[in-house]
């Protein structure tokens, strides 16, 4: 292998590692959001990072508490689904666009709101770690649907998600004996 080939291989591996770390950061934020896990949510932002959701801008580390309170006031559960994800890396700064579909079940449990938007992120690699320096959230569409089927018995036995570390996704090792709440 020539020096040029070795340099190119090293650059390619660095790019792939950075790209995966950036995508993992975006995915961890969505997971932290859905589990109401403040440590995960704070850990994806730099201390001086900002999150702009509509009219509210919070520092990233403070965003989780604000978001949890806002969501708990209206919803009984929610899932943030990251779909299309693009990323441009320039040294230790990256710009990412991630499409998000949020499914949020409104208190009372009969209606789910679906919302589609995008996260526009500037991430920075500091001390070897990629975190969000700025997140701006768009909202592109919304719709509501009926969720009464969930309480009809049709899904009896399925695991119910939890907004805390009692959620089955935290269980290590995950076994069929893991204590869970079910529909």
Please, what are the domains in the chain? Answer: 3-146 (3.10.450.50), 153-183 (no CATH)
Rg, Å, the chain Cα set: 19
Helices 3-35 and 60-74, interaxial angle, to 10°?
A: 40
- What pLDDT score does 137 carry? 97
**Mean pLDDT value across the chain:** 96
Q: For residue range 1-28, what is the model confidence (pLDDT) as tens digits?
A: 999 999 999 999 999 999 999 999 999 9
pLDDT digits (tens, 9 = 90+) for 83-104: 999 999 999 999 999 999 999 9
pTM here? 0.93
**Which H or E run contains 11?**
helix 3-35
Tell me the mean pLDDT in the region 160-175.
Answer: 93
The DSSP call for residue 73 is: H
Question: Residue for token digits 């995915």?
Answer: 27
Taking residue 31's Cβ as centre, other Cβ atoms within 10 Å add up to: 17
């Amino acid at each position: 292998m020539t020096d040029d080939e070795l340099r190119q291989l090293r650059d390619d591996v660095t790019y792939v590692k950075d790209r995966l770390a950036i995508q993992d950061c975006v995915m961890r934020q969505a997971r932290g959001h859905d589990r109401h896990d403040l440590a995960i949510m704070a850990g994806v932002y730099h201390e001086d990072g900002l999150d702009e959701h509509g009219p509210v801008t919070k520092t990233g580390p403070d965003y989780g508490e604000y978001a949890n309170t806002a969501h708990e006031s209206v919803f009984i559960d929610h899932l943030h689904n990251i779909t299309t994800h693009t990323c441009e890396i320039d040294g230790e700064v990256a710009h990412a666009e991630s499409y998000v579909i949020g499914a949020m079940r409104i208190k009372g449990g009969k209606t789910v709101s679906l919302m589609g938007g995008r996260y526009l992120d500037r991430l920075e690699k500091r001390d070897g770690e990629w975190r969000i320096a700025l997140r701006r959230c768009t909202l592109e569409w919304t719709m509501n649907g009926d969720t009464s089927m969930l309480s009809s018995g049709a899904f009896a036995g399925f695991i119910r998600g939890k907004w805390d570390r009692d959620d089955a996704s935290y269980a290590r090792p995950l076994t069929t004996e893991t204590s869970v709440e079910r529909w």
